[in-house]
Amino acid sequence: MFKAQTRVLGTLLAVILVAWGWLFHQHWQQESLPMSQMWMPPSETAAWRFTDFALVYNMWAVMMAAMMLPSAIPMILAFHRVCQRRAKAPYRLSYLFSLAYLLVWFLFSSVLTLLQWQFHGWSWLSPMMDNQSTALAVGVLFLAGIYQFLPVKNACLTHCKSPMGFLLNEWREGVAGVLIMGLRHGATCLGCCWAQMLIMFAVGVMNLPAMALITLLVIVEKWLPVKAAIICKAGGVIFLVWGALLWAFQGSS
């Protein structure tokens, strides 16, 4: 059983490493190539073409896989263990469950793409995708902070911290059942972390250190053996203080 879990874990880690490798490559291009050789999102909404939307969507989709898949590893491994006991093609079903989970975040990437398109049109983001609006940054941080105190955040995080509880309550047989389970877990995970993903608009869309910190925060929230309510409130205080300090120092300048 341990070897079987190692195989699934190795596959997940490979996907995560490829996603982060792509992000590092994009960041390197942004920092190293002359502007004449770089693609940059148009500053006006009317100037966007299908290629621009596709490139921005691809960036967000890879970012969601890199940032969110690590936090789902305990749930996926728990699902795999149950499949092994039931002798139900554990590898195929585990990968299908993971794909359904990621599909939710890929759909959310469409929302992030549309937001970025509009933010460029309002000149809230630079052509390099850096934040140019203190109001946007403060608003996002306050939104993320307030959301941490809402019951829905606590409920979603409680679900994410209890893999076996989810599997016991939501288990369904067959391929269709696995897809439904993966989508449900993805939807609950989205309900837990969507506001944290918006913080990338506040710190710069391709800010790699910020991506790593938010990923670590999500992992700590889900993996730390502390009650969800305590973690939610602690994160909320951090975001609200961050937003207040940003407003105090940049809003007055």
Residue 212 to residue 135: CA distance in whole angstroms: 24
Given a cut of 80, whether residue 34 has pLDDT beyond it is: no
Residue 102, amino acid: L
Specify the pLDDT at position 91: 84
Sign of the CA dihedral with 8 first, then 191, 178, and 64 last: negative
Burial class (CB in 10 A: 0-12, 13-18, 19+), 50: exposed
Q: Position 80: which residue type?
A: H
pLDDT digits (tens, 9 = 90+) for 169-204: 889 888 999 999 999 999 999 999 999 999 999 999
In the chain, what percentage of residues exceed pLDDT 90? 73
pLDDT in tens, 231-240: 999 999 999 9
- pLDDT tens per residue across span 75-128: 999 999 898 887 667 788 999 999 999 999 999 999 999 999 999 999 999 989
Specify the pTM.
Answer: 0.93
Q: Tell me what pLDDT residue 87 has.
A: 64
